[in-house]
């Protein structure tokens, strides 16, 4: 009987000790699983937050700003051609040599300064006779000599008037061909810088309005690109992809365009 009791006692103790170890191991697993799950949730939240921040940082807005200014030309370039024809080349040359000083004197009498007058080289051309029906016979009938005179002046109003009145020389037997004056603005480089600054300010103001309309704010400048400069006649709407530079008008409009990319917060 003692042996049986001891055996029973031994089995009972063994069973108790084994049951205690299994219960501790099972209780540790849920705790580890909970910690792991919490870590996964936290890392996921951090990842989502990071992606959101990156996405927000990548949001941009592109706007185009412009500025316009009225300018008045401060330089004029006027050209005219004087030509003479004669059966002999020498006679045409003599007529040109005699009359060109008369043209120069006429310009000086109109207030043009000597240093503003420039003469070109003489151009010669042969003249062939025409048949009854206007066809070219190929027979030499004479020579034509032409010389151009150019006036460059800062007195725009005076030379503009002169270009219209110079045909008076025709009444003196001088064959003059007057070309339209070209009007230039010489301070364009200085104005260009200030125009670009004004266009950039306009771009910023436009971006702020657009961002505010959707409850956002603009951040720093990501990039900026300057457009071509448009110099057009006053009140003209003409534009060109390569830019315009009008020389036919005294009064002009200069337009500057800037495209700016802003970050959005």
Could you tell me the two tokens for 154?
């800062």
Burial (CB < 10 A; 0-12, 13-18, 19+), residue 64, is middle
Please provide the DSSP assignment of 135-193 as one string.
-EEEEEEEEEEEEEEEEEES-HHHHHHHHHHGGGGGGGT-EEEEPPPEEE-TTHHHHHH
pLDDT over 90 (residue 147) = yes
pLDDT of residue 253: 96
Residue of 156, 157, 183 lying closest to 249 (CA atoms): 183
pLDDT over 50 (residue 242) = yes
**pLDDT tier for residue 38 given thresholds of 50, 70 and 90:** low
What does the alpha-carbon distance between residue 42 and residue 48 come to, in Å, rounded to a whole number? 10
Where does 60-72+186-264 sit in CATH, by number? 3.30.110.170
The single-letter DSSP state of residue 181 is P
**pLDDT tier for residue 263 given thresholds of 50, 70 and 90:** very high
Most confident of 36-40, 49-53, 102-106: 102-106
**pLDDT tier for residue 42 given thresholds of 50, 70 and 90:** low
pLDDT of residue 218: 93
What does the alpha-carbon distance between residue 131 and residue 235 come to, in Å, rounded to a whole number? 51
Mean pLDDT for the stretch of residues 109-131: 94
φ, ψ for residue 251, nearest 5 deg: -95, 130
Tokens 């025709």 -> residue: 170
- 211, 218 contact by CB (below 8 A): yes
Helices (H), the chain: 2-57, 89-109, 156-165, 188-213
Per-residue model confidence as pLDDT tens digits over 57-115: 579 999 999 999 999 999 999 999 999 999 999 999 999 999 999 999 999 999 999 99
Could you tell me the two tokens for 82?
């004087």
- 177, 81 contact by CB (below 8 A): yes
Q: Cα–Cα distances in Å, from 57 out to 23, 60, 80, 162, 224?
A: 52, 8, 63, 63, 18
**pLDDT tier for residue 55 given thresholds of 50, 70 and 90:** very low
Its CATH architecture, for the domain 75-183, is: 2-Layer Sandwich (3.30)
CA end-to-end span of the chain, whole Å? 89
Mean pLDDT for the stretch of residues 221-241: 92
Angle, alpha carbons 129-131-136 (nearest 5°): 60
pLDDT over 90 (residue 130) = no
Neighbour count for residue 229 (Cβ, 10 Å) = 17
Q: Do domains 60-72+186-264 and 75-183 have the same CATH topology?
A: no
Per-residue model confidence as pLDDT tens digits over 164-212: 999 889 888 898 999 999 999 999 988 988 999 999 999 999 999 999 9
Q: Cα–Cα distances in Å, from 82 out to 121, 172, 179?
A: 12, 12, 11
**pLDDT tier for residue 49 given thresholds of 50, 70 and 90:** very low
What does the alpha-carbon distance between residue 17 and residue 23 come to, in Å, rounded to a whole number? 10
Question: Which is more confidently placed, 30 or 247?
Answer: 247
pLDDT of residue 171: 87
Per-residue model confidence as pLDDT tens digits over 11-29: 444 444 444 445 554 555 5
Q: Where are the domains of the chain?
A: 1-58, 60-72+186-264, 75-183
């Amino acid at each position: 009987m003692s042996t049986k009791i001891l055996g029973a006692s031994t089995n009972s103790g063994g069973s108790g000790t084994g049951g205690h170890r299994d219960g501790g191991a099972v209780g540790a697993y849920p705790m580890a699983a909970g910690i792991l799950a919490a870590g996964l949730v936290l890392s996921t939240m951090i990842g989502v937050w990071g992606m959101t921040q990156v996405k927000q940082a990548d949001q941009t807005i592109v706007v185009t700003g412009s500025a316009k200014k009225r300018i008045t030309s401060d330089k004029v370039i006027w050209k005219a051609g004087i030509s003479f024809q004669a059966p002999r080349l020498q006679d045409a040359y003599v007529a040109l040599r005699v009359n060109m000083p008369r043209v120069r004197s006429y310009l000086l009498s109109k207030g043009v300064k000597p240093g503003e007058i420039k003469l070109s080289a003489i151009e010669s051309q042969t003249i062939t006779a025409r048949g009854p029906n206007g066809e070219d016979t190929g027979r030499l009938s004479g020579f034509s000599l032409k010389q151009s005179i150019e006036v460059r002046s800062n007195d725009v109003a005076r030379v503009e008037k002169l270009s219209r009145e110079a045909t008076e020389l025709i009444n003196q037997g001088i064959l003059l061909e007057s070309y339209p004056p070209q009007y230039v603005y010489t301070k364009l480089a200085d104005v260009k810088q200030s125009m670009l600054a004004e266009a950039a300010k306009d771009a910023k103001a436009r971006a702020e309005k657009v961002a505010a309309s959707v409850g956002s704010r603009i951040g720093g400048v990501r990039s900026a690109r300057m457009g071509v400069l448009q110099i057009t006649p006053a009140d003209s709407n003409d534009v060109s992809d390569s830019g315009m530079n009008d020389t036919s008008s005294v009064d002009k409009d200069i337009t500057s365009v800037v495209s700016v990319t802003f970050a959005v917060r």
